[in-house]
Amino acid sequence: MTTTATAHTNIALIKYWGKKDPILNLPTTSSISLTLNEFYTRTTVSQNASADELLINGQPFDSQRIHRFLDMLRDTLGDFAPLTVASENHVPTGAGLASSASAFAALTGAVTRELGLELDNMTLSRLARRGSGSASRSFYGHFAIWHEGHDDASSFAESLHAPDMPIALVVAEVSTAMKKVGSTEGMRRAATSPDYATWVQNSAAQLRDMQAAIQASDIEKIGTIAEANALAMHDLNRTARLDPFTYFTNDTTDILTLVADMRRQGLLAFATLDAGPNVKIITTQAHAPLIVSQLQAAMPDLHLEIATSGAGIHYDD
Ligand code: PMV
């Protein structure tokens, strides 16, 4: 038997940036995301191997993180036979979006279905959270909320049922030679910032405001809150007591200046950034092409993509 699942990646509008339990991956704050139609991982799982085998885009691949995750699934769900896991990533490396959200969501969905378990998305989100926190949100289409919770059972994501709206994301990839600080390490450092407790507090208020903005289809407000939340997250990295750092490059700063300029011209454009230098610009479908052409004119080497709101996990059968 084989089972194929497709999960789309998501961009956090209210970020997850800190763990209160690193083993269970319980976050210090709840988070809200938008699932992206254009970027996804398609994973096929089959039970015909003598040891777990991983293939990404047809190439053998070794990942301790995925092996550990499969072992965690065996401990939690009961033992199962070795698996071949073949993933195709349609998250262009050029887009600067992490593929771990879509990868761990698709893997969790494909493995559990292959085992004949019909788990609901909340249960799946709890399992996927253990592989990558942001993956908990990728089971749902459009807007999702991951409740921080206080234990394994209470930390899960669910859909934020919202009206349809023409939201879009312009993804601007800047090239960098900087050594990457992984998200777990980045969170560990950020938590040592003297501003961390304030960030956690502000995040709770921003989460409430974001839910209201989403229900009102107010893209300007969604963007305003998301930008404030993301920039404050990146300030934590700079003000960390332990190994301060930044993901920003000169290009990142230039793009942020251009985004502010475009806003002054009347375009809807708000920036958000994750664990890297790439800037994602929250806008409307009508303004996205204008933003792309302005950025491209100012910075001809930028790689730009437009993404729109996408669906939750789906299966081939
Ligand atoms: O899911 P992880 O461990 O890759 O961490 C994701 C962290 C951010 O992308 C920066 C924020 C988020 O909520 O997705």
Sheet holding 167-173, edge to edge: 270-272, 279-284, 167-173, 303-308
Q: What is the pLDDT of residue 94?
A: 62
pLDDT tens-place string over residues 12-28: 999 999 999 999 999 99
- Cα(230) to centroid of ligand 1, in Å? 11
| CA 220 – CA 5 distance, rounded (Å) | 34
- Cα(183) to centroid of ligand 1, in Å? 6
Q: Which of 179, 31, 9, 186 is nearest to 101 (CA)?
A: 9
| CA 135 – CA 19 distance, rounded (Å) | 15
Q: Would you tell me the crossing angle of helices 219-239 and 196-215 to the nearest 10 degrees?
A: 170
pLDDT of residue 99 exceeding 90, the answer is no
Q: Is the CB of 278 under 6 A from ligand 1?
A: no
Q: What is the pLDDT of residue 1?
A: 86
pLDDT tens-place string over residues 226-239: 999 999 999 999 99
Q: Is the CB of 32 under 6 A from ligand 1?
A: no
pLDDT tens-place string over residues 269-302: 999 999 999 999 999 999 999 999 999 999 999 9
Q: Is the CB of 144 under 6 A from ligand 1?
A: no
Q: What is the pLDDT of residue 289?
A: 98
Average pLDDT over residues 35-59: 95
Q: What is the pLDDT of residue 10?
A: 97
191-205 burial: b if 16+ Cβ within 10 Å, else e: bebeebeebbeebee
| CA 303 – CA 19 distance, rounded (Å) | 32
Q: Is the CB of 31 under 6 A from ligand 1?
A: yes
CB of 305 closer than 8 Å to CB of 130: no
- Cα(24) to centroid of ligand 1, in Å? 15
CB of 244 closer than 8 Å to CB of 196: no
pLDDT tens-place string over residues 174-205: 876 666 899 999 999 999 999 999 999 999 99
Q: What is the pLDDT of residue 93?
A: 67
Q: How confident is the model at residue 95 (pLDDT cuts 50, 70, 90)?
A: low
pLDDT of residue 210 exceeding 70, the answer is yes
- Cα(97) to centroid of ligand 1, in Å? 10
pLDDT tens-place string over residues 120-157: 999 999 999 999 999 999 999 999 999 999 999 999 99
Average model confidence (pLDDT) across the chain: 96
CB of 221 closer than 8 Å to CB of 264: no
Q: What is the pLDDT of residue 179?
A: 67
Q: What is the pLDDT of residue 142?
A: 98
Q: What is the torsional sign of CA 94, 95, 100, 103?
A: negative
Q: How confident is the model at residue 207 (pLDDT cuts 50, 70, 90)?
A: very high
Tell me the HSE value of 87 on the side-chain side, using a 13 A CA sphere: 30
**pTM > 0.95: yes or no:** yes
Q: How far apart are the first and last CA of the chain?
A: 12
